[in-house]
Amino acid sequence: MKRIYLDYAATTPTDPEVIKAMQPYFFEKFGNPSSIHTFGQEAKKAIEDARETLAKFLGAKAEEIVFTAGGTEADNFAIAGAAYALEDKGRHIITTGIEHHAVTEPCKFLEKRGFKITFVGVDKYGLVDPADIKQAITDKTILISVMHANNEIGTIEPIAQIGEIAQEKEIYFHTDAVQTVGHIPVDVNALRVNLLSLSAHKFYGPKGVGALYIRKGTRLMKFLHGGDQEKGRRASTHNTSGIVGLGKAIELCQEKMPEEAEFQKKLRDKLIKEVFAKIPEVYLNGHPEIRLPNNANFSIKYIEGESILINLDMLGIAASTGSACTSTSLEPSSVLLAIGLSPEIAHGSLRVTLGRWTKEKDIDYLLGHLPGIAQKLRAMSPLYEKK
Ligand SMILES: *Cc1c(COP(=O)(O)O)cnc(C)c1O
């Protein structure tokens, strides 16, 4: 059966060029980068090259990059690390109601340990108002964390404006840029952040490797105590092949990003236009323009997102309802509730995310089947009958 992957926001396939770049670091160049001998030094050089590539991409300095085991670790390191480094100054953190679990869970963990967390709301498009952030600031605020773009609805947040507020008040500012790095331009100075998280598997790199950008002078408590890797900020032998893969993936994105974003946006807009034309009573979730070029998120009234996914999967189409992390629970997505959808409408959500290997015929295939699936499921829906 033909299989079509339209779930790039959950993870991406690893680019074959990335795999090729990683390969030597498993056998020929397997040395421990902390070793003095040539095996070690060639691994160390590869890591430092990747660090340089990533730093340049972000407008940062190489020494401001710490490699981690993915986006979740980078988020935890930024949030709990800043909280415990600055707790003498204050114990108040500001974040939003639409963050990824990798941000909300460390915040809730800190809340149980005496920190005060303010979860700022968003408007119907999922946009955070910088004025709301400003208003939430107290003399105890030590950290603000707002995601660059939302992983479910694709809305891109006004990070630079919030950064300006944070900078003025001298409060650390973190952004989870896991959905944007490799997809749209990300510059740590333009965004005015102290801390920025990213993850290789969201931009055609391998899973289990990411990075935290830490602006020079930003104090963080470290989590992994052991060797003095990463200038003492994170112990553990480097994931050399993973880091090399991350570097190669960034290099490819640097080159391909403008064209890819434009092509994906074109296909996405066609998808949105045709879905509206072919299916009655659908809504687009997220901002109509200020959104990731590869994201479309619909609510199809009267039916369940899970049923749509199962029907699509039987046709070989992989999409998502809400985020992959919540796909095992039947609770409606907290992001969709935060933008004001009723639980019934939130349940009928379908996220379609495009990527490097998405073809126009893939979108046409989806468009050929989705209206029929919606009609079939509505015919069986008690909600639809009562209308
Ligand atoms: C995927 C994702 C994460 C988690 O990254 P991992 O590398 O999978 O741990 C964090 N934040 C956002 C917005 C994500 O999309």
Residue among 351, 343, 363, 278 nearest 308 (CA):
351
DSSP 8-state class, residue 14: P
Measured in Å, how far apart are the chain's first and last C-alpha atoms? 37
**Residue finishing a domain among 252, 275, 306:** 252
**Structural domain of residue 341, as residue ranges?**
4-11+257-386
Looking at the structure, tell me whether residues 215 and 276 fall in a common domain.
no
Same domain for 315 and 202, yes or no, is no
Q: Is 210 in the pocket of ligand 1 (CB under 6 A)?
A: yes
- Adjacency order of strands within the sheet including 116-120: 65-68, 210-214, 195-199, 172-176, 141-145, 92-96, 116-120
CA 177 to centroid of chain Cα atoms: 6
155: CATH: 3.40.640.10
- Grade residue 383 by pLDDT with cuts at 50, 70 and 90: confident
212 and 269 inside one domain: no
CATH number at residue 327: 3.90.1150.10
Q: Which atom of ligand 1 is nearest to the CA of 147?
A: 13
Q: Which helix (H) or strand (E) holds 197?
A: strand 195-199
107/192 same-domain check:
yes
Residues 188 and 316 reside in one and the same domain: no
Q: What is the largest CA-CA distance in the chain?
A: 75
Domain endpoint, select from 231, 252, 273: 252
- List the structure tokens of 374: 């919606």
237-290 tens-digit pLDDT: 999 999 999 999 999 999 999 999 999 999 999 999 999 999 999 999 999 999
- If asked whether residues 241 and 353 sit together in one domain, one would say no
Residues 214 and 192: their CA atoms lie apart, in Å, by 12
- Rounded-to-integer distance, Cα 379 and Cα 371, Å: 12
**282, 164: one domain:** no
Vertex 262, ends 256 and 268: CA angle to 5°?
Answer: 125
Of 229, 252, 275, the one marking the end of a domain is 252
Do 285 and 192 fall within a single domain? no
**Shortest-distance atom of ligand 1 to CA 208:** 7
Give distance in angstroms: CA of 226 to centre of ligand 1.
26
Q: Please, is 184 exposed, middle or buried when counting C-beta atoms within 10 Å of its C-beta (0-12, 13-18, 19+)?
A: middle
Residue 335, pLDDT > 70, answer yes
When divided into structural domains, the chain yields a total of: 2
CA distance 261 to 194: 26
Q: Is the CB of residue 100 below 6 angstroms from any atom belonging to ligand 1?
A: yes
Measured from the CB, is residue 102 less than 6 Å from ligand 1?
A: yes
Q: 241 and 363, same structural domain?
A: no
Q: Which of 7, 156, 176, 326 to mutate to test the pocket of ligand 1 (most atoms within 8 A of CB)?
A: 176
Tens of pLDDT, residues 142-201: 999 999 999 999 999 999 999 999 999 999 999 999 999 999 999 999 999 999 999 999
Q: Does the pLDDT value for residue 305 go beyond 50?
A: yes
pLDDT tens column, 42-100:
999 999 999 999 999 999 999 999 999 999 999 999 999 999 999 999 999 999 999 99
Tens of pLDDT, residues 291-301: 999 999 999 99
Closest-lying ligand 1 atom to the alpha carbon of residue 75: 10
Judgement on whether residues 219 and 296 belong to the same structural domain of the protein:
no
Task: Kindly state whether residues 41 and 154 are assigned to the same domain.
Answer: yes
Question: Whole-angstrom Cα distance, residue 337 to residue 343?
Answer: 7
Ligand 1 centroid vs 117 CA: distance in angstroms?
21
Instruction: Output the CA 197–ligand 1 centroid distance in Å.
Output: 9
